[in-house]
Amino acid sequence: MVGELTHLYQHGDFAERRAVLRALPLLPIGAAALPLVQDALRTNDSRLISGALGPYGAAHLDDHGYRHAVLKCVFTGIPLGDVAGLPARADRELARMLADYARERVAAGRDVPPDIQPLIDAYPEVGAP
Amino acid sequence: MRIFDPHVHMTSRTTDDYAAMYDAGIRAVVEPAFWLGQPRTSVASFLDYFDSLIGWEPFRASQFGIRHHCTIALNPKEANDPRCAGVLDVLPGYLAKDQVVAVGEVGYDSMTPDEDEAFARQLEMAIDYELPVLVHTPHRDKLAGTLRTLDVVRESGIPPERVVIDHLNELTVEAVRDSGCWMAFSVYPMTKMTEERMVRILLDHGIERMLVNSAADWGRSDPLKTRRTADAMVEAGFSKSEVDTVVWRNPVAFYGQSGRLALDEVDVDELATFEGNSIRRGGA
């Protein structure tokens, strides 16, 4: 089945690819379709990135992959409320990355997306300026 | 004013851009190999892309009086795609070409083991081919990514003066300056650096080993940002010679380490063709 999913994904347009990604948590495939999630997370297409970070991605990405996926959502303007696995999978290292990102935005005179603040506040020691 | 844009993806730009760049004083560019906005699915796609960077694109630039060189590499983002891993094996053939003045863009995107491997192998190739290296720093987790980049560069044994670390900002400039590597900044309309912030960094950190680029590509970007930054430098009181150092002499010194920069003026031959093709679109 994963072979068929991969074929559908690789030959799909963005809507078809998104449909494949959104179907993953409903199928009995374990972690075997993770490469499709990783492919979608390498794109800059917010439609595919948000599709990739549904319940399937949240269940199977390793900690490093999950953190970078959340960061990618922040960079591409995907509201964190739509991201599966939060706040349960948010850890100290993700809070550290988001706090660094907030410092970078402030140094550049730019605004900081408000939805990252609760994740930073959960680890007060990383949030200090 | 003469300008050298040390990082611009002209493949994604129009002939109008080339004309405007020439009018703004841009006489030379380096186009780093990078990704195309969506994943490539095979090594063959890279071969066609690399061939255009050493063939069609320099021809197109020459039609507007601009010297075009390139850097060649497997970019960090696509280093994670198993379908593209074979690109590393075809790189040596390209690193021997006259138009290729550095290995790049290499570095980190998501800081994965595959990226580690591709980065380290390409630093080795740069040492073997005695070429400079253009290193991209990640958008996400930039400070941690930049520090790790500097560690990898140090461990590789490549002389730091042959390495430029790109896409820096206020928080990453100092560590790179202390490393002895060159520092590069991408000036963008909405993200990365602005001209004003760029000038502030030059005032704070000096102009030695500093490069300014537009990094213009298929995204929201502006190939005239090098000129706008030069103008902002003049306005801030930098001398003509200091501006020339940043926007011309520094990139010439950095990429000149390849021994392959050809910067004599382009004699524009509007009737020239590249393998039988012209940019005239049928106009007689």
The pLDDT of residue B111: 94
Cβ pair B80:A43 closer than 8 A = no
How far apart are the CA of B27 and the nearest CA of chain A, in angstroms? 30
Query: pLDDT class for A73, splitting at 50, 70, 90?
Result: very high
Query: Which two three-digit tokens encode residue A81?
Result: 């409320």
How far apart are the CA of B112 and the nearest CA of chain A, in angstroms? 8
Residues in chain B within 8 Å Cβ distance of A109: 197
Closest CA to B69 of B19, B124, B5: B5
How far apart are the CA of B143 and the nearest CA of chain A, in angstroms? 8
E strand spans, B90-198: 100-107, 133-136, 163-165, 182-186
Residue B74 to residue A14: CA distance in whole angstroms = 25
Interface test with A, best of B77, B78, B110, B190 (most A CBs within 10 A): B110
ipTM of the complex: 0.78
| Chain B, nearest residue to A40 by Cα | B39
**pLDDT tens digits for range B117-139:** 999 999 999 999 999 999 999 99
Say yes or no: B195 contacts chain A, CB-CB below 8 A.
Answer: no
The pLDDT of residue B282: 65
Q: Which residue has the higher pLDDT, B269 or A17?
A: A17
The pLDDT of residue B275: 81
Give me the residues of A, 74-113, that contact B with CB < 8 A: 75, 97, 100-101, 103-104, 107-109
Nearest to A104 among B78, B111, B171 (CB): B171
Backbone angles phi, psi at B234, to 5 degrees: -60, -45
| Cβ(B84)–Cβ(B43) below 8 Å | yes
Query: pLDDT class for B221, splitting at 50, 70, 90?
Result: very high
**pLDDT tens digits for range A101-119:** 999 999 888 999 999 999 9
Query: Which two three-digit tokens encode residue B272?
Result: 């020239």
